[in-house]
Amino acid sequence: MKVSCYTWVKDWPDIAYTLPINIHSTSGKNVEFCIADCGSTPENLDALYLAARGVMRVTVKEFGNLPVHMSVNKNLAAKMCKGDILLNLDGDNVLGPWTIEYVRSKIEEDRRAVIRFLSKGTLQSGITGRIAMHRKVFEDLGGYDEQFAPRGSDDLDLLERAKAIGCRIVTAENPWVVGLTITTPRHQSLQYICPHGKRDDIEPWGNCLDAANRHRSEENIRQGRLKANQGPPMYRLDDYYDIKYYRQAARWADIAQLANVIYNFFQPKSLIDMGCGDARLIANMPEHVVVQGVEGSAYALQVCETDAHLVAIRDLRYVFEPLGKFDLVTSIEVAEHIEPDYAPIYVQNLVQHGDRVLVSAAMPNQAGTQHVNCRHKRYWIELFAKHGFQRQEETERELKELLEDFNQPKLVRNLILFEKQEQS
């Protein structure tokens, strides 16, 4: 079986040092190296080509200056592979003298075996990578999940999904299998993902990304979504809703005024805001109100107006376990960002959190970032009706009268109030 070692790089020089060593140690062993360059400087790219010069079994493909997104970048490199066995390496990994023989023997013995090389820490620590599996297994899994946040737990998810489809996980702890030379600081990839973040904030934010991806992985496995990147087309939230987006959105509307009106009108003891952005709505609720925010893009945590632990990172296009029951569920200018194929799931996520739901959904032709589902109100009325919720027009009108001087009249116009009806 041919072994394909694949990796991706973005302007870190390690691979120019490790590649020649790995080429030498795998001479005559039917091994190829596939490297996806996602935006190296000319100097580092020249060094990479120099290291690979004259070696036919090394393929370097330039993809331009791509954002750092672990799952996406790894899949790009994996798609370059022609071998039967795929071995994911980081750019600073050095293959041990018996790595290839070990991998090949294990997978020839059991084609459903997935080999995971320990570097340091434990399987639960998030420090992983260096995974080998048969190409067919990788294809059965759909590769890495590209709907993940840009960084965190992508390798662990691949392992857990492999386990869920019946693969046998083999953990190799022999240091002679894979030796490591860590020369790239761990925060560097996070700085590429979050260039506006302060150095001291980056590591905690990276931990938030890990937590968000772990939750997504657990939900996918619980609901049997074991093959990644399937279903109707879905855009990646983090590609559009970054720190710049949230900072611009913060200047768009007087959310403090909106929060004050909503509280005084409904007097909720508890409130959950779905698609909360920087969490200004829940941040402006009185202290005695139990609040919860839900947001799809982890970048929102970088500009969060309240304690980050009050915001759960969830993609509203996937059904997730309820976070509790609340007196009022709000979702302000979110619905239009949900693709039509996932709108019913979005509504399901709202109604499972409470019996009174206040949404504002953009009407047709309303401009905005990723406004992919601008609809007339009857569209949302019909979706909520399937869950036994009816529009409360009189109460809605009273609320809107209190917002006549609000600085975003379109938001007020778009408001719809739903309440669950008692079954007769």
Amino acid identity of 313?
I
Comma-separated ranges of CATH 3.40.50.150 domains in the chain: 244-420
Give the SS3 label for residue 66. Answer: coil
121 torsion bin: left (phi>0), alpha (psi -120 to 50), beta (else): left
Task: Tell me the C-alpha distance between 157 and 170, whole Å.
Answer: 15
Q: Within 10 A of 44 (CB to CB), how many other CB atoms are there?
A: 19
Residue-wise pLDDT for 156-206, tens only, equals 999 999 999 999 999 886 544 444 444 444 444 444 444 444 444 555 656
**pLDDT exceeds 80 at position 313:** yes
pLDDT at res. 250: 74
Residue-wise pLDDT for 240-262, tens only, equals 888 888 888 777 778 999 999 99
Q: Within 10 A of 399 (CB to CB), how many other CB atoms are there?
A: 18
| Superfamily of segment(s) 3-187 | Spore Coat Polysaccharide Biosynthesis Protein SpsA; Chain A (3.90.550.10)
Give the SS3 label for residue 400. Answer: helix
As assigned by CATH, the class of the 244-420 domain is alpha beta
pLDDT at res. 182: 41
**Torsions phi, psi of 295, nearest 5?**
-145, 145
Task: Provide the β-strand partners of residue 389.
Answer: 420
Task: Tell me the C-alpha distance between 25 and 284, whole Å.
Answer: 61
Comma-separated ranges of CATH 3.90.550.10 domains in the chain: 3-187
Q: pTM for the whole thing?
A: 0.79
Give the SS3 label for residue 293. Answer: strand
Which range (27-36, 202-211, 321-330, 406-415) has the least confidence? Answer: 202-211
Residue-wise pLDDT for 142-159, tens only, equals 999 998 888 888 999 999
